[in-house]
Amino acid sequence: MKPVFKKFVWLIAMSSLVALAGCHNKKKDNIEPPTPLAKDFTPTVKVAKVWSARVGDGAGVTGVRMGPLVVDGVLYAASTDGELAAFDAATGKKLWSKKSSTHGWFGWGDKHRKDALYAGGPAVDGDLLAVGTLDGHVYGLSSKDGSPRWEADLKSEVITQPVIVGDLVLVRTQDGRVYALDRASGDRRWVYDQGNVPLLSVRGNGPLLAANGVVFFGSDDGKLVALRMDNGEKLWEQSLASGEGRTDIERLDDADGAVVLDGTTLFGTAYHGNLVAIDGPSGRPLWSRQFSSYGSPAVAGNMVFAVNDQSQVWAFDRSGGADQWKNDALKYRWLSSPAVQGSYVVVGDVEGYVHWLQTGDGALAARERLSKKPIRAQPVVVGDMVYVEDIKGHIGAYRLSAN
């Protein structure tokens, strides 16, 4: 059976491709050009690139947001052309790598995962690594060397990172289902079916969040959903978007970013929707404000940071959602979701730049260029390091120090 695919609107991908192609008629294509970066910019914080590496061809032109994962001092990454790799997160030394592709008359590579098109990014817990593919498979592997353990066929794209918790591997597929697989064997334990998935959708899925026996995620029809982890039963759902508008495009209301849990409060966003704070145990809305975003918010202290659909960076008060500041300097640079590194908000852009903004007032503090390729995946902050990956698999590790 062929995987089930939806009809997608590649908003982020198409914006990036047009920008990179250097299209000379932006008005005709109805795409705003990236705001030029200030040439006289003076950084207020020093950035050091600690190391750089590359994993295969990254996400390539698939439109998925493939990012790295850091667990217990090891950085794991995957690519859609079939490479898995592990690096020492402090030094960038490659610890192991596996390629699934086979070539030639006789072929070589990993016969257990022939031509696996990794797309969800890896999840790691203890000695287990789980990763999904564009052709609807999930592989369980050894996190120590990438050797195979089990395979599950779910029949639809897995373009977001699985979650390993207890004896379960939780997986979201592009056809609106959430699966719980047995950690040891990959056998199916339960499945939740969203039902009617919109035919028109922004390319992407928000990752699952597992906490306190509950699985949370943003759905393709603009809802925040909570499931029981032991059996997949739906506990509650709340709307993040209204789905209103005169055209199909105007009615797009995907919640494609990660749901963030801070204490007992959940924060989520939706395209053509809202930024919402919800009480996790009850599902009761705490506050909501209109805010269209295709990414994930970030929470630090008493602030919530988010990037809207025009790539303006915003900060809100955590307790009530009031505006704290907005930065327009990176408008239309098709930013990644934000991450917080100490006193700075970190984002990547369509031209391969990484930007640091002060959390207090949003002022630009530093920028470095990882590559000339778009950065779509949310940066990963661990300790005093931030790890950034572009769509071609280039990974950079950066550390900040005061001037």
Tell whether the model's pLDDT for residue 107 goes beyond 80: no
**In this predicted structure, what is the pLDDT of residue 176?**
85
Residue range 249-258: average pLDDT?
A: 53
Tell whether the model's pLDDT for residue 178 goes beyond 90: yes
Mean pLDDT score across all residues of the chain: 86
**In this predicted structure, what is the pLDDT of residue 196?**
61
**In this predicted structure, what is the pLDDT of residue 13?**
38
Tell whether the model's pLDDT for residue 27 goes beyond 50: no
Q: Where are the alpha helices (DSSP H) in 54-177?
A: none
Tell whether the model's pLDDT for residue 197 goes beyond 70: no
Rounded to an integer, what is the distance from CA 371 to the centroid of its chain? 19
Residues in the chain, overall count:
403
**In this predicted structure, what is the pLDDT of residue 7?**
36
Query: Is 27 strand, coil or helix?
Result: helix
Facing residues of 382 across strands? 385
Residue range 323-347: average pLDDT?
A: 97
Instruction: Kindly state the helix (H) or strand (E) to which residue 224 belongs, with its residue range.
Output: strand 223-228
**In this predicted structure, what is the pLDDT of residue 110?**
67
pLDDT bracket for residue 11 (50, 70, 90): very low
Residues 31/15, Cβ–Cβ less than 8 Å: yes
Percent of the chain with pLDDT over 70: 82
> Mind listing the pLDDT tens digit for each residue in 115-166?
789 998 999 999 999 999 999 999 999 999 999 999 999 989 999 999 999 9
Residue range 256-285: average pLDDT?
A: 89
**In this predicted structure, what is the pLDDT of residue 63?**
83
pLDDT bracket for residue 100 (50, 70, 90): confident
Cα dihedral 199, 201, 203, 204, rounded to 10, equals -100
> How far is residue 199's CA from residue 197's CA, in Å, rounded to a whole number?
6
Tell whether the model's pLDDT for residue 252 goes beyond 80: no
> How far is residue 270's CA from residue 81's CA, in Å, rounded to a whole number?
30
Residue range 322-331: average pLDDT?
A: 97
**In this predicted structure, what is the pLDDT of residue 142?**
98
Residue 17: phi and psi, rounded to 5, are -65, -40
Query: Is 238 strand, coil or helix?
Result: strand
Percent of the chain with pLDDT over 90: 69
Higher pLDDT, 70 or 245: 70
**In this predicted structure, what is the pLDDT of residue 403?**
55
Tell whether the model's pLDDT for residue 29 goes beyond 70: no
6, 254, 256, 293 from 219: Cα distances, Å: 14, 6, 7, 14
Higher pLDDT, 114 or 396: 396
> Mind listing the pLDDT tens digit for each residue in 289-317?
999 988 899 999 999 999 999 999 999 99
Residue range 372-388: average pLDDT?
A: 96
